[in-house]
Structure 1
Amino acid sequence: MMYNVLSKKKAIQLLGVGVLAFSLAACNEENSSEKTSDQKTEQSSQAKSTTRVVTDAMGHKVEIPANPKRVIASYLEDNLVALGITPVAQWSVGDGASIQDYLQDKLGKVPTISYDLPFESVQKLKPDLIIMDSAQMVEGNKYEQYSKIAPTYVIGKEQNNDWRDELLRVGDVFDKKDQAQEILDKYDEKVTKAKTEINDAVGTPSVAAVWLFGGKFYMVNEKLSTGAVLYQDLGLKVPAVVKEISAKSTSNWNEISLEKLVELDADHIFLVNGDAQKAKSTLSNKLWQSIPAVKAGNVHEFSSKESWLYTGPIANEQIVDNVVKSLAK
């Protein structure tokens, strides 16, 4: 009888211990489940913090790494350097024969890549972000192919986009839009000062930028590249020939015959000499010598290695400095 009583008591105790153990196990399991859930939420949050979703000019939702390390941005290197970013490769033509020389103090050790970004070359560089200057660069199914290699962001829909907008968009991609705006503000301050210096020295003369390359002459578009700096930013007068040539083309630089150049009614010419060795014979031509600005000795010659053929905050600042040195000397 005593045995039965003890057995019942022990059974009750064991039952109590079992219930307690079950409760503790259930509690632990619940806590573990909550911890797992919390960990997943935290991991998800961390994953989101390492990328940003930005919409490009073509409407693509692009998931961009928070801190891209291997960037390819053909012909946008000026913007990258201005923002303190070094690309993994730099734009070139002719297997590195032609590069943006004016940026080489920052990009001297950066390998080159062909301007048209061949898929295999891009793939070998293992970029974590690709930035395209225009929609033209991703025509057909190119966008899909590039985006398989790395997140691909397209800056603008046009072949030639406003350089200010480009800088702000590049800044947005890297979460540096405020820095990009500061660069623009400083540039505008430089331009305001330059306009005053030029006006005090020579008023508002008419000017033209002419590029000599391969024995041929090219004139800058009134509204693009160096033309935008000369006429829109610095407010210098646009010669009739420049207006005429610009109206027929959307290219940055347009071929112009020497016979047409004779009609150039510019007070000053900025000559970008890309024919250093052969230029002498071309520039000794009687037609060139008959141009009013040439006869007046108002030709300001520069190497094609300078920034005149390019655009961006760094290039444009250098152009402004060169114009001031030429006209306000």
Structure 2
Amino acid sequence: MKKYWAFGAAALLTLAIAGCGSSEDGSSTSSSTEVKTENTSKEATSAATQTITYLDKEYSVPAEINNIAAASLESMEDAAMLGIKPVGVLQVGGAIPTYLEQELAGAQLIGDKMEPNAEAILALKPDVIIGSSKWGEDVFQKMNKIQTAIPYSHISTNWKDNLTLLAGLAGKDEEAKQIIADYEEKATDLKTKASEQLVDKNILIIRIRGGLMYIYPEGVYLNPVLYEDLGAPVPEVIKAAKAQAEITLETLAEVNPDAIFLQFETTENAEASQALEELQSNPIFSSIKAAQNNQVFVNVIDPMAQGGTAWSKVKFLDAAAEKLLQ
């Protein structure tokens, strides 16, 4: 396996990115990597560069990529899926997230997800920084002073573009193609079964954050697996969501779902550590069909999973099929 520790310099790129809210019309565009290699002057003492195209934007990076800083949880999940060893990764609770620690062992910690530590990243001399589309412009300005920072999409429908980008940078193109092909084949097989068993089912994916319940639009988080890949009917409350949206107990009771996938991560509920238990014991929650029929599934995949990555989709497709399909 190729290791990603060597240093390669690249021309800096200035990039302005909008704020960190979810863009819900983030439909996937075809991803391609166009390589345009240039030998810069000896006076500039710069290495050869390549221009890559990702989600219709161009980025200049070194022609040879050995040292990748995975500065987003989404890119960390895809790196784990592809067998890539980034030189730097984000921390959660002062360590590599538990669900990725084996695959990403040995990487240096470079700060938290909303604003990674610029000094820590600089010390690693990255060839490219895989950031997040959730970052603000100020974060990108800091990162681009170090090396080209690419805004890895957090929109679930861009998962193939993301995986293809990272694979192309790391020389893992064939691995990415196989992951995508395997997923699509399995999803197609399961969708046939789901079309019969889920046709009249009302199913929600709910994430507890800060002690509150949140839902997402059908193209965000884990929802595309359920509503697109498996073909479950999209509830009206999901159709109405334009971004991450709180759902109250009263609204949940009105929806009265047949099944609920409930995700609860302790680090996202530091001030409400008992929120899950309190919800499950609440009389209103206990009265809905999902609870009555033991169809509330808690953390079927790791609650830190970002949703819109190959890792998340593969894991959740298997878990959803196991719980919902006979």
Distance in 2 separating the partners of 1:236 and 1:50: 49
Deviation at residue 164 of structure 1 after TM alignment? 1.7
Distance in 2 separating the partners of 1:193 and 1:204: 19
Deviation at residue 309 of structure 1 after TM alignment? 4.4
* Correspondence for 2:216: 220
- By percentage of residues, which structure has more helix? 1
1:125-136 to 2 correspondences below 5 Å: 125-134=124-133
* Correspondence for 1:169: 165
* Correspondence for 1:66: 64
* TM-score normalised to structure 2 length: 0.71
Q: Kindly indicate whether the alpha-carbon contact (under 8 Å) linking 1:54 and 1:64 is maintained by their aligned counterparts in 2.
A: no
Q: Kindly indicate whether the alpha-carbon contact (under 8 Å) linking 2:301 and 2:316 is maintained by their aligned counterparts in 1.
A: no
Q: Does 1:260 align with 2:257?
A: no
Distance in 2 separating the partners of 1:242 and 1:88: 38
Distance in 2 separating the partners of 1:180 and 1:77: 15
Deviation at residue 237 of structure 1 after TM alignment? 1.2
Q: Kindly indicate whether the alpha-carbon contact (under 8 Å) linking 2:82 and 2:176 is maintained by their aligned counterparts in 1.
A: yes
The verdict on how the C-alpha distance between 1:260 and 1:100 changes in structure 2, with shifts beyond 3 A counting, is farther
Distance in 2 separating the partners of 1:137 and 1:161: 19
Deviation at residue 202 of structure 1 after TM alignment? 5.5
CA-based RMSD of the aligned residues comes to 3.3
Partner secondary structure for residue 114 of structure 1 = coil
Gaps of 5+ in 2: 1-38, 267-272
Distance in 1 separating the partners of 2:131 and 2:305: 22
1:3-42 to 2 correspondences below 5 Å: none
Aligned residue type for 2:52: V
1:137-216 to 2 correspondences below 5 Å: 137=135, 139-140=137-138, 142-155=139-152, 162-199=158-195, 205-216=201-212
The verdict on how the C-alpha distance between 1:278 and 1:61 changes in structure 2, with shifts beyond 3 A counting, is closer
The verdict on how the C-alpha distance between 1:274 and 1:137 changes in structure 2, with shifts beyond 3 A counting, is closer
Aligned residue type for 2:297: H
Gaps of 5+ in 1: 1-40
Structure 1 residue ranges, 4+ long, deviating more than 6 angstroms after superposition: 47-50, 158-161
The verdict on how the C-alpha distance between 1:256 and 1:191 changes in structure 2, with shifts beyond 3 A counting, is same
Q: Kindly indicate whether the alpha-carbon contact (under 8 Å) linking 2:206 and 2:215 is maintained by their aligned counterparts in 1.
A: yes
Distance in 2 separating the partners of 1:305 and 1:182: 23
Q: Select 2:99's aligned residue among 95, 98, 102.
A: 102
Deviation at residue 208 of structure 1 after TM alignment? 0.6
| Identity, % of aligned positions | 26
Distance in 1 separating the partners of 2:156 and 2:317: 20
Distance in 1 separating the partners of 2:249 and 2:67: 48
The verdict on how the C-alpha distance between 1:62 and 1:100 changes in structure 2, with shifts beyond 3 A counting, is same
Q: Kindly indicate whether the alpha-carbon contact (under 8 Å) linking 1:57 and 1:155 is maintained by their aligned counterparts in 2.
A: no
* TM-score normalised to structure 1 length: 0.71
Aligned residue type for 1:139: E
